[in-house]
Amino acid sequence: MIIVTGGAGFIGANFVLDWLALNDEPVLNLDKLTYAGNLENLASIEQDARHVFVHGDIADAPLLAHLFAQHRPRAVVNFAAESHVDRSIKGPEAFVQTNVVGTLHLLEASRAYWSSLEKEEQQAFRFLHVSTDEVYGSLEPGEPAFTEQHPFEPNSPYSASKAASDHLVRAWHHTYGLPVLTTNCSNNYGPYHFPEKLIPLMIINALAGKPLPIYGDGQQIRDWLYVRDHCSAIRQVLERGSVGETYNIGGWNEQTNLDIVGQICGLLDEWRPLPDGRSYRQQIVFVKDRPGHDRRYAIDARKLEHELGWKPAETFASGLRKTVAWYLEHPDWVANVQSGAYRTWMQTQYAETALA
């Protein structure tokens, strides 16, 4: 079996759902259920015996030791993190605690367990750390996309904490020989994305008749990848990636924020036209910029494409259509997230499976 951390969040939940749709190998899902953890994302596998949910913290060393001893995983996939840049600017401490200290404890628990294995099991074991393109800093227009050799130049408390965790993972391989893999992915979008992030926020605000807040001039560039393509890349790196290596993941899809919001408005104009015939674009407002706002990210994914033969299944046009359609088809998920009701639902629904 494998341990997945942060599997009740956006990408982790997509990963667990896809994993169990493709494999019979069980998943132990360790998640602290912060505001970003939502077990409604996993409602479709609620009765699935292959999914064991544990409510807990990756920084809880005794809990980790117990879980490793009890479940004897062949791999750990670490999604657990504080992930929102704006929150990191307002309150950096939680980011250092989970992203740095939490990763340290997960590495240490993995190392202790891995050291106790027979040689063959040791060789097969993997610790896959899920990270971000933001560790590489910000690109100027025309500069080549980030390769795995690009220096680390993190600019926000979030990206600095992720960069620190990437360095820990590297050091645990170099010093102790732990068989690690690291992935650095560009911006994801898709189902179950928490509506504090650009794409779901814009869809939900547009439908609610609220302003669509664009930071600064809206000309910042992000490189967008459909979440299930990120998950397929992680599965390939886990199975066939070279130990100790890092792999960039991205779909060669750079877009300005303003273009992204324009395309969302275009789809909503087509599928949910406003009664007065005007476009949702009228709701766009320009607001104060994010402090230290990175101007451009772009991922060079050739290593992953050439070494492992990975390719994304979605184009941005097809992925965005799926995403907007998903939010239109899941008003209850949106309402529960907005009201906070998903937290109550979690307590009642999962009380028995929670260890902590």
For residue 134, indicate whether it is catalytic. Answer: yes
Q: Which C-beta is closer to ligand NAD: that of 196 or that of 269?
A: 196
215 binds, among ligand NAD, ligand DAU, none (CB under 5 to 8 A by kind): ligand DAU
Q: CB 167 → ligand DAU: shortest distance, Å?
A: 16
Residue of minimal Cβ distance to ligand DAU: 132
Q: Which C-beta is closer to ligand NAD: that of 187 or that of 246?
A: 187
Q: How far apart are CA 222 and CA 280, in angstroms?
A: 22
For residue 86, indicate whether it is catalytic. Answer: no
319 binds, among ligand DAU, ligand NAD, none (CB under 5 to 8 A by kind): none
Three-state helix/strand/coil letters over the chain:
CEEEECCCCHHHHHHHHHHHHHCCCCEEEEECCCCCCCHHHHHHHCCCCCEEEEECCCCCHHHHHHHHHHHCCCEEEECCCCCCHHHHHHCCHHHHHHHHHHHHHHHHHHHHHHHCCCHHHHHHCEEEEEEEHHHHCCCCCCCCCECCCCCCCCCCHHHHHHHHHHHHHHHHHHHHCCCEEEEEECEEECCCCCCCCHHHHHHHHHHCCCCEEEECCCCCEEEEEEHHHHHHHHHHHHHHCCCCCEEEECCCCEEEHHHHHHHHHHHHHHHCCCCCCCCHHHHEEEECCCCCCCCECCECCHHHHHHHCCCCCCCHHHHHHHHHHHHHHCHHHHHHHHHCHHHHHHHHHHHHHCCC
3 binds, among ligand NAD, ligand DAU, none (CB under 5 to 8 A by kind): none
Residues at the contact surface with ligand NAD, assessed by CB under 6 A: 5-6, 8-12, 30-34, 36-37, 57-59, 79-83, 98, 102, 130, 132, 162, 185, 187-188, 194
Q: Which of 57, 60, 133, 294 is catalytic?
A: 133
Residues at the contact surface with ligand DAU, assessed by CB under 6 A: 83-85, 132-134, 186-187, 197-198, 201, 213-215, 220, 222, 257, 290, 297
Q: CB 120 → ligand NAD: shortest distance, Å?
A: 30
Q: Which of 31, 40, 57, 134 is catalytic?
A: 134
Q: Which C-beta is closer to ligand DAU: that of 41 or that of 132?
A: 132
Q: CB 257 → ligand DAU: shortest distance, Å?
A: 4
For residue 280, indicate whether it is catalytic. Answer: no
Q: CB 6 → ligand DAU: shortest distance, Å?
A: 11
201 binds, among ligand NAD, ligand DAU, none (CB under 5 to 8 A by kind): ligand DAU
Q: Which C-beta is closer to ligand DAU: that of 103 or that of 220?
A: 220
The catalytic site residues sit at: 133-134, 158
